[in-house]
């Protein structure tokens, strides 16, 4: 009887201990409300909100406004005379033209910029010659407005504006005679005060006798443009530049030809390669 009683006590104690362990296990296994992972629909809503806050990108589905085909127009900036002197030391300027064309065509977005062209810079000249052509496609028959700003390039300081020229064309057609080297006076109102002050000083010292500057521009219609005319764009010419850099030449293993040059007259001189002056003989014993 005693043994049976002891066995029952041991069994009861083991059962109570087992239930206690199970209770502890369940209490630790169930996380609190704060530690529970988010549900699937909550995660989807969060992702959609974050995507909505991101800027739009990729393909723009905004259609191009419809308009009848326009004309292909060539604008030529020939030269300028009697430009102001922005540099007091050399009594000259480094002029370039920043041209802009505005048409009556509607734009796809309000933020779209107008068509612009920057001509090359002519160094140390008050009578520069650019002879720079700008070809535009799908210029509407209602014409356009050309605004040419002439600046003096100054990398060490800001570029001084030397003056503006406005050319208004009311209408164009295939029979339009165009503009042949039209002479337009520069407007001084938006010009740099420093440049015109230097010109005034130069006029007082008889370094120059002219106070008015002029720009010569030509406009020619080349014909009808192909395709839809809802967008005016630059058709040419394609620009390329030649850059001389000793570091890039070393990387590309190219350099200018010698004075005598090589090659024939049609193709011109060929580029040379740098000759490596180093030798591996001192390091051969380390390599093998």
Is residue 43 reached through a cis peptide bond, with omega within 30 degrees of 0 on the bond before it? no
**What pLDDT score was predicted for residue 28?**
46
Strand, coil or helix: what is 17?
Answer: helix
Query: Which H or E run includes 80?
Result: strand 71-81
**What pLDDT score was predicted for residue 63?**
87
**What pLDDT score was predicted for residue 85?**
84
Termini Cα distance of the chain: 94
Q: How far apart are CA 174 and CA 141, in angstroms?
A: 10
Kindly give the residue spans of alpha helices, DSSP state H, lying in the chain: 2-29, 40-53, 193-204, 246-252, 284-287
Residues 6+ apart with CB under 8 A from 269: 257, 261, 262, 263
Please list the pLDDT of the chain residue by residue as tens digits (288 residues): 444 455 555 555 555 555 444 444 444 444 444 555 555 555 556 656 666 666 566 667 788 888 899 999 999 999 999 998 887 777 788 999 999 999 989 888 888 888 999 999 999 999 999 999 999 999 999 999 999 999 999 888 888 899 999 999 999 999 999 999 999 999 877 666 667 676 666 666 655 556 789 999 999 999 999 988 889 999 988 777 676 677 777 787 777 765 554 544 555 556 677 665 554 445 444 444
**What's the Cα-to-Cα distance from 185 to each of 33, 137, 212, 272, rounded to whole Å?**
79, 27, 7, 49
- Listed by start position, the domains of the chain span 71-236, 242-273
Tell me, which fold does domain 71-236 have in CATH?
A: Immunoglobulin-like (2.60.40)
**What pLDDT score was predicted for residue 119?**
95
CB 98 within 8 A of CB 125: no
Residues 6+ apart with CB under 8 A from 246: none
**What pLDDT score was predicted for residue 123?**
93
**What pLDDT score was predicted for residue 134?**
96
Half-sphere exposure of 95 (CA within 13 A, CB side): 32
What are the backbone dihedrals phi and psi of residue 178, each rounded to the nearest 5 degrees, phi first?
80, -170
**Length, in residues, of the chain:** 288
């Amino acid at each position: 009887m005693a043994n049976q009683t002891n066995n029952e006590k041991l069994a009861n104690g083991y059962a109570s201990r087992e239930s206690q362990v199970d209770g502890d296990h369940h209490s630790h296994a169930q996380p609190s409300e704060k530690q529970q992972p988010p549900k699937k629909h909550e995660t989807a809503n969060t992702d959609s909100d974050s995507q909505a806050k991101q800027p739009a990108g990729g393909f723009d589905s905004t259609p191009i406004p419809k308009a009848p085909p326009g004309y292909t127009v060539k604008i030529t900036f020939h030269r300028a005379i009697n430009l102001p002197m922005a540099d007091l030391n050399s009594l000259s300027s480094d002029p370039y033209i920043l041209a802009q064309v505005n048409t009556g065509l509607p734009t796809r977005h309000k933020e779209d910029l107008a068509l612009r062209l920057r001509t090359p810079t002519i160094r140390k000249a008050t009578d520069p010659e650019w002879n720079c052509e700008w070809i535009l496609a799908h210029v509407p028959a209602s014409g356009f407005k050309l605004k040419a700003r002439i600046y003096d390039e100054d990398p060490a300081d800001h570029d001084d504006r030397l003056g503006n020229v406005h050319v208004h064309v009311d209408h164009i057609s295939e029979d339009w005679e165009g503009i042949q080297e039209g002479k337009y006076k520069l407007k001084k109102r938006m010009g740099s005060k420093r440049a015109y002050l230097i010109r005034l000083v130069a006029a007082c010292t008889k370094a120059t006798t002219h106070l008015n500057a002029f720009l010569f521009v030509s406009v020619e219609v080349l014909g009808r443009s192909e395709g839809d005319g809802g967008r005016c764009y630059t058709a040419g010419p394609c620009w390329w530049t030649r850059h001389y850099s000793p570091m890039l030449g070393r990387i590309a293993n190219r350099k200018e030809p010698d004075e005598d040059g090589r090659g024939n007259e049609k193709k011109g001189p060929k580029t040379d390669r740098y000759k490596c002056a180093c030798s591996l003989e001192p390091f051969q014993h380390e390599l093998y």
